Amino acid sequence: MNLLELYATRDLSFYILCQENDDDLITAVDDKSEATGVLSELNQKVIKVITTEKIDDQIWGLIEQNGQLRGWIKIISSKLLTSIDPLTVKVNLDHFEVVPVNKLINAKRDYQLFFNTGSFTARVALEVEGRMTLGLYKKSQFIGFVYEDDIYYSKKMNEMMIAKDLTTDVCYKDSDLKSQFSQFIDFSDEPITIVLAFPTLGLVRFNHRNKYYYTKAEFIHGFDINLLEFTKPILDSNTSLINNLLGLFDEERETSRSIIQKLINENIALTEQIYKAEERKARLEELYNNLSNSKLGRIQRQIWKRRR
């Protein structure tokens, strides 16, 4: 069983670099006999396969691109990508090399310019000519692949501290530390929570009263970024594949658990409604019997009998 068949058998979602026949069809979400486009518009693009279906020994995938559901395609020769736990990263342009596959994805894009600002989310990995690359996104839009040697990794955190001598004079809206805040705020003696750190850049992101700020770690008194226990993700093909499958199985199990929990909660709620309905019915029956056996009730029954 190849990897694609394994994904299909387990009905797992995954990412592909689409490399199919240009004339193959994209079909409607609710009707595979209705063509909505051709694959020439998606070839050499990274797309997400939400679910799969096997028809006449061919695997069909329901695909999503840039957050939009597109329809069904036959998956035959596309390159499967390795899903990874989402990572917030920045790109090191000091010795930046454009990954060759990027030129197939978008030959006109200036990748060095595109990766020059901001942070990105790494969601997939791809081995290219023996070197591991990460597929980077801006929100739901795929941007391109970057060699792992050109990546600045971050570490997720949740460390609360009391700020000392910290103001918006040294804080920024963006990870490039270019856009400052117009309103002056003195965070001194206020609780802040460090949520992200880039150890190699000495950069941190913190939360204060549900608002986020970037600053240099040196301005957070009592916080030594050099003491962080940080391990760069292992991205060799075999380890990534194993982690990918384990992650997908865990995700599937968590989804199943959530569905079962929802059904249990709905069943409990329905049972409670049944109990309440039975209690109400019992109270009405008791009320009817009490009323029926009363003097007024006996008179009323006699009146009903005479009207028949």
- What is the pTM assigned to this prediction? 0.72
For each of the chain's 308 residues, which pLDDT tens digit applies? 577 777 777 777 889 999 999 999 999 998 888 999 999 989 999 999 988 988 888 899 999 988 788 999 999 999 988 888 889 999 999 989 999 999 988 888 899 888 998 999 999 999 898 899 999 999 888 999 999 999 999 999 999 999 999 999 999 999 999 999 999 999 999 999 999 999 999 999 999 999 999 999 999 999 999 999 877 776 665 555 566 666 666 666 666 666 667 777 777 777 777 878 788 887 877 777 776 677 666 666 666 666 55
3-80 CATH, one of 1.10.10.10, 2.30.30.170, 3.30.365.10, 3.40.50.300 = 2.30.30.170
Q: What is the pLDDT of residue 296?
A: 67
pLDDT for 180: 95
| Nearest-10 Cα torsion for 79, 83, 89, 90 | 0
Looking at residue 268, what is its pLDDT?
73
The domains of the chain are located at: 3-80, 82-153, 155-227, 237-293
